[in-house]
A and B are shown apart, each in its own frame.
Chain A
Amino acid sequence: MAHSPSSHDHAHDAGHDHEQHELIPYIVKPRPDSGLYNGKLGIWLFLASEVMLFGGLFSSYIFLRLGAEHWPYQEILDIPLGLFNTAVLICSSITMVMAWAAVKRRRFGSFLTPGTYQFYMALTIGCAAIFLGVKSKEYNDKFVHYGVFIKKAAFAKYEGALHEANAGTKEYTTIEAYEITGHLHGTVDRKKITEQKFLEIIPDAKKGGHGHGGDAPKEVTVKPHGGGGSSDHGTPIKIDTEDIVRWGNFIPKYSTFFAIYFTMTGLHALHIIGGMLVLTYLATFGANLYKENPEWLANRVEVTGLFWHFVDLVWIFLFPVLYLL
């Protein structure tokens, strides 16, 4: 009850709201002509610029995909993890709006009292942390996953071994090469591989192409069981470096898919981190504002919520576009 707005100094309270309005007008009550308080107008102008930022990136995605010779279809990203993260963000959106409603209903509470402002804020921050944890696991899975482009002229040398390993291959006519993906066996050090003049790769198994119309690649690879982090089983195939056009792990420069994947999800993750910082402030030090004027805090929480829901909204598009299509 220490935070109850009615339990503090009433003498100080009288005319305080009025005084505040003279210092900076319309920070608590809406401006009569626009019907908006300052923070709400500000956040919507900011969100308008965010629509442009992410809109431009989605536009680039379409352009890159139209021009790509192959585009991975449900084979590179972990759909269950993406689905889990989508659910986590939706949960954080409902707890965010409930935190705002709790201030409006004057239920400040504590981090451990269900149904109160601080409780819902703690849940929202927790969801954000889970999202980032899962996202970094997904990123790490990509960093230890490799691809090799074998020269078309030398491909016959490896065809038998790859067929035996049931490896998925993709032909690239523009660079006259075949791509195989998998996990490196032995060293991953570029210098050492250049010196020893070969690398060993345990290829990803082939998966029968399903569903996706006629323009999809006929052979689709599938990650080894368990999301592809550690496939030590399977026979490694030795490939001479002189037969390789290029090789590397799944980082932005590997392909246009990974370039746009890391750009879009990375920018989105930065938004999550930024949102988390603001949420943490509002749940701790910033929450003292409740004692002074709970409506002012409610406005700040509402504005933060608008940003948070927008970040959720961007993910709602990112998930199907990157993981499912």
Chain B
Amino acid sequence: MASHSSDTKHAAAAASNDPHAPDPHELEHLEHHIKTYIGVFVALLVLTAITVGVAYLPFSATGHIVVALLIATIKAGLVALYFMHLVSEKKTVIQIIIASMVCAFFLFGLTWLAWYNPITWGKDPYKSAGFEHPIHH
């Protein structure tokens, strides 16, 4: 710790004659961020252990899917917010991400449309028309 803060001071002192010396304010923030990164790293490992542990518990199929995706979303959120700096990112980046998420969910919506066919609403069009199903025979 002591060495970190003396490094910061040293860099600040060098700033006057080195055009590429780091901004001392930025460095101070960075020291703080590095502690956050290590915290996030530990949290990610713990959550990974939890997701595997939970997979062996006797939940229902839906329960397993909900819990696993919830943990994965929390982990993805931690990576995006801290490692990818979204906590302090500019508005432009957030707008790009929102736009891509909207389009990605639209793709998921197309899958939903394909599965719950809105023309027949789940009724088998072959059976309704009096035909045997082509897949089964």
A residues in contact (CB < 8 Å) with B:
5-6, 10, 13-14, 16-17, 30, 34-36, 40-41, 44-45, 47-49, 51-52, 55-56, 58-60, 62-63, 66-67, 74, 79, 83, 86-87, 90-91, 93-94, 96-98, 101, 104-106, 173-174, 210-213, 215-216, 293-295, 305-306, 309-310, 312-313, 316-317, 319-321, 324-325
Map CB proximity to A onto B49-74 as digits: 1 under 8 Å, 0 otherwise. Answer: 00110011111111111001101100
Residue of A nearest to B73 (CB): A317
Asked if A210 contacts B83 (CB within 8 A), the reply is no
A-B pairs under 8 A by CB, number: 172
Contacts of A86 in B (CB 8 A): 48
Interface of A is mostly: helix
Q: Which of B55, B75, B92, B99 contacts A35 (CB 8 A)?
A: B92
Task: State in angstroms the CA–CA spacing of A14 and B83 once bound together.
Answer: 34
Asked if A211 contacts B21 (CB within 8 A), the reply is no
Interface centre among B52, B58, B63, B136 (most CB of A within 10 A): B52
Asked if A213 contacts B76 (CB within 8 A), the reply is no
Residue of A nearest to B98 (CB): A48
Asked if A313 contacts B92 (CB within 8 A), the reply is no
Asked if A295 contacts B20 (CB within 8 A), the reply is yes
Asked if A211 contacts B56 (CB within 8 A), the reply is yes
Asked if A104 contacts B22 (CB within 8 A), the reply is yes
Contacts of A319 in B (CB 8 A): 48, 51, 72
Asked if A52 contacts B69 (CB within 8 A), the reply is no
Asked if A40 contacts B37 (CB within 8 A), the reply is no
Asked if A211 contacts B58 (CB within 8 A), the reply is yes
Task: State in angstroms the CA–CA spacing of A40 and B34 once bound together.
Answer: 21
Asked if A35 contacts B64 (CB within 8 A), the reply is no
Contacts of A44 in B (CB 8 A): 92-93, 96-97
- Chain A nearest CB, measured from B21 CB (Å): 7
Residue of B nearest to A307 (CB): B84
Task: Give 10 CB contacts A-B under 8 Å.
Answer: A35-B91, A48-B99, A51-B104, A59-B107, A67-B115, A106-B11, A212-B60, A213-B62, A293-B20, A305-B83
Contacts of B75 in A (CB 8 A): 316
- Chain A nearest CB, measured from B99 CB (Å): 7
Task: State in angstroms the CA–CA spacing of A313 and B76 once bound together.
Answer: 5
Contacts of A174 in B (CB 8 A): 135-136
Q: Which of B21, B59, B90, B115 contacts A66 (CB 8 A)?
A: B115
Residue of B nearest to A13 (CB): B19
Interface centre among B17, B69, B90 (most CB of A within 10 A): B90
Task: State in angstroms the CA–CA spacing of A25 and B100 once bound together.
Answer: 27
Q: Is B5 an interface residue (CB 8 A)?
A: no
Asked if B108 contacts A59 (CB within 8 A), the reply is yes
Say yes or no: A90-B52 contact (C-beta < 8 A), given A6-B14, A52-B104, A320-B72.
no
Q: Which of B18, B52, B92 contacts A324 (CB 8 A)?
A: B52
Contacts of A30 in B (CB 8 A): 90
Contacts of B100 in A (CB 8 A): 47-49, 51-52
Asked if A105 contacts B7 (CB within 8 A), the reply is yes
Say yes or no: A93-B79 contact (C-beta < 8 A), given A51-B100, A62-B108, A317-B72.
yes
Say yes or no: A41-B79 contact (C-beta < 8 A), given A6-B21, A97-B37, A309-B84.
no
Task: State in angstroms the CA–CA spacing of A94 and B38 once bound together.
Answer: 7
Q: Which of B44, B57, B105, B135 contacts A211 (CB 8 A)?
A: B57
Q: Which of B61, B83, B115 contacts A63 (CB 8 A)?
A: B115
Asked if B61 contacts A213 (CB within 8 A), the reply is yes
Say yes or no: A106-B72 contact (C-beta < 8 A), given A36-B93, A44-B93.
no
Task: State in angstroms the CA–CA spacing of A153 and B14 once bound together.
Answer: 85
- Chain B nearest CB, measured from A45 CB (Å): 6
Residue of A nearest to B71 (CB): A320
Say yes or no: A316-B37 contact (C-beta < 8 A), given A83-B48, A216-B61.
no
Task: State in angstroms the CA–CA spacing of A106 and B27 once bound together.
Answer: 10
Contacts of B64 in A (CB 8 A): 211-212, 324-325
